[in-house]
Amino acid sequence: MTKKILCMILCCMLAFGGIALAYEGAAPVTEETKTFSILTTNSGSKYYDWDNMVWWHKVLENANIELDMELIDNSAYSDVVRPRLAAGVDLPDIVRLPGSDDDMSYANSGLFLDLAEYYDTLGYNIKNHFEMFPTLKGSLTTPDGGMYYVPTLTPAEANMRLVMVNRGFLDQLGMKPEDITTLDEFTEYARKVKEADLNGNGDAEDEVPIFIRSGMIGLFRMYFGIDAEGWYMNEGGTVICTAIDDRYKDFLTWAHDAYADGLIYNEFASANYDTQAALYSTNQTGAIIHFISNCTDYSQDINPDWRFNVDEPIMVPLAISGPNSDKVCWGRNVYSGGGFGITSFCDDPETCFAFLDYLFSEEVGVLTWYGIEGVDYNIVNGDYEFTDVYYANKDNYLTVMGYNCMALPNAYQLYGSKQCNQVRAAIDEFSKYVVNPSIGYSYKYEDENEIINAYSADLNTYFSEQQTAFIMGTRSLDEWDDYVATVKSMGVDQMIAVNQAAVDRAAQ
Ligand SMILES: [Ca+2]
Ligand SMILES: [Ca+2]
């Protein structure tokens, strides 16, 4: 058989077999330019001038794809999309879900295509992420084996959460960051911040030893050997409710004592970004618990002359151990539900999926976070060296170019924040201490959702209220047994059973 005939036979097979796409994970996605319509929002930078996002248009150019994009303001997105999905007519090719769809209402609606086969045959780049994140494929898969969405992968190691302490305060106390290695030492440092006038304004009372923003205090649970989230799976695979565990009581005891001693910010339950920024601007903050990548912003908030990539962070990230934990930094699940679905209105789902897969390539990660070689960075001795244009970030340059644009599927955790030397160094130092939530995202069956809908909201409200009350001392921890009994009466065992079943399914 001649090569020519063999070639003809192969071409016929491909044409009739419907596998006409030559995509193997690299650009161009298609030889012939294709246009897809998409309804989405930018939940990252919340900047909406898509037409001028040069880096993303380079991605499209490489892929040979054009997008007819309807980019909705993030705050209005859910209100805009839900009615259109409910109507279910004339949907664009790609729709970003308005929520996590953990009750599978959209997955079961028939509006979105089951992408499992495309994942299998065309998911060249996404499948690499399945290897990196072992829970990811299970989280994307419905109990009957369907895969309806292409995810955005949220930062894990690049956005670990940990405590940070004020370098200027340490200096005045004659201390070094490495002097603080345990929660006890951290608490002792906070006590010294309380006692002294470390910002030198003549007022020994105005420093806030441990500033905590609304919703963040639970992160301190990590030092007590339990998840910072509500449900926790122990090493034996058994699900427990964090909020009635004895280790949680230990956390509450520590937090209450620290609060009563004036170490924890008195408005920890309600403090917002504005409070945080105001305290930094007058250098009142002794410590905070938050994302590692924020150490640069915090440093600049304290000293506007602080220089990216040059100066040591003023707010110094620390990995510390706790009464019931080794050194730990809190991670997060790489996927928390939802994502981008290809609708049944799409007439070329194969190419559409290939395009979404291409977005997970290293080429796109670099383009959309680091920019264009020669303009935004150069590669020097194998390392990225960013240009003055990139670092200067004049007139919000990075955002305008497309940095942190979350309008399309994205593999943020591999690139975001790491362009800053200080953050990269901190991540390198601390990533080995990252603990991720023990329970990953999962779909639930209908009867499970009925239980969740019946109990979850009330339980979460109760947990949150009681946590604040115990810490502030408006409820005594002497009433712990009554508290646990109340939680039991509120359906917690049914909720544990639902989570246990989901965990068991994911383990299969
Ligand atoms: Ca003080
Ligand atoms: Ca002071």
| pLDDT tens-digit map of 20-67 | 678 999 999 999 999 999 999 999 889 999 999 999 999 999 999 999
- pTM of the entire predicted model: 0.81
Q: Please list the helix, strand and coil fractions of the chain in percent, rounded to the nearest 5, in that order.
A: 45, 15, 40
> Is 379 part of any domain?
no
Give the span between the Cα atoms of 311 and 367, in whole angstroms.
Answer: 27
Say if residues 315 and 164 touch (Cβ distance below 8 Å): yes
Q: How far apart are the first and last CA of the chain?
A: 48
Within this chain, do residues 322 and 348 fall inside the same structural domain, yes or no? no
11 pLDDT higher than 60: no
- Judged by its nearest atom, the ligand closest to the C-alpha of residue 279 is 2
418 pLDDT higher than 80: no
CA of 252 to the centre of ligand 1 (A): 24
* All residues with CB under 5 Å from ion ligand 2: 197, 199, 201, 203, 206
Give the span between the Cα atoms of 292 and 59, in whole angstroms.
Answer: 29
- Kindly state the average pLDDT of the residues 327-331: 95
CA of 259 to the centre of ligand 2 (A): 19
| pLDDT for 229 | 80
Within this chain, do residues 179 and 311 fall inside the same structural domain, yes or no? yes
CA of 172 to the centre of ligand 2 (A): 12
> Is 188 part of any domain?
yes
- Judged by its nearest atom, the ligand closest to the C-alpha of residue 205 is 1
CA of 311 to the centre of ligand 2 (A): 24
Within this chain, do residues 291 and 242 fall inside the same structural domain, yes or no? yes
> Is 240 part of any domain?
yes
| pLDDT tens-digit map of 196-251 | 999 999 999 999 999 999 999 999 999 999 998 889 999 899 999 999 999 999 99
Say if residues 112 and 344 touch (Cβ distance below 8 Å): yes
List phi, psi (to 5°) of 342. -95, 125
| pLDDT for 156 | 73
Within this chain, do residues 182 and 326 fall inside the same structural domain, yes or no? yes
CA of 29 to the centre of ligand 1 (A): 60
Helix spans in 156-287 (H): 167-172, 183-195, 246-260, 273-281
CATH of the domain at 196: 3.40.190.10
Residue-range definition of the domain harbouring residue 482:
446-507
Confidence of residue 15 (pLDDT cuts 50, 70, 90): very low
- Kindly state the average pLDDT of the residues 381-386: 87
> Is 420 part of any domain?
no
Within this chain, do residues 134 and 182 fall inside the same structural domain, yes or no? no
Q: How does DSSP classify residue 176?
A: -
- Find where tokens 């962070």 sit: 313
Number of domains within the chain: 3
Q: Strands, DSSP E only, in 16-115?
A: 34-41, 65-72, 94-96
| pLDDT tens-digit map of 95-145 | 999 999 988 999 999 999 999 999 999 999 999 999 888 788 989 999 889
CA of 283 to the centre of ligand 2 (A): 9
The residue that leads in pLDDT, 113 or 3, is 113
Confidence of residue 18 (pLDDT cuts 50, 70, 90): very low
Confidence of residue 10 (pLDDT cuts 50, 70, 90): very low
- Judged by its nearest atom, the ligand closest to the C-alpha of residue 208 is 1
Within this chain, do residues 146 and 84 fall inside the same structural domain, yes or no? yes
| pLDDT for 169 | 98
Within this chain, do residues 165 and 271 fall inside the same structural domain, yes or no? yes
pLDDT, mean over the chain: 92
282 pLDDT higher than 60: yes
Within this chain, do residues 358 and 459 fall inside the same structural domain, yes or no? no
Confidence of residue 315 (pLDDT cuts 50, 70, 90): very high
> Is 10 part of any domain?
no
Helix spans in 386-438 (H): 388-392, 397-401, 421-430
| pLDDT tens-digit map of 283-312 | 999 999 999 988 988 999 999 998 877 889
> Is 100 part of any domain?
yes
- Judged by its nearest atom, the ligand closest to the C-alpha of residue 202 is 2
Within this chain, do residues 170 and 287 fall inside the same structural domain, yes or no? yes
Confidence of residue 494 (pLDDT cuts 50, 70, 90): very high
- Kindly state the average pLDDT of the residues 4-31: 65
Within this chain, do residues 69 and 205 fall inside the same structural domain, yes or no? no
Percentage of residues in the chain having pLDDT higher than 70: 94
> Is 20 part of any domain?
no
- Kindly state the average pLDDT of the residues 403-432: 82
Within this chain, do residues 175 and 129 fall inside the same structural domain, yes or no? no
| pLDDT for 135 | 81
> Is 248 part of any domain?
yes
Within this chain, do residues 288 and 310 fall inside the same structural domain, yes or no? yes
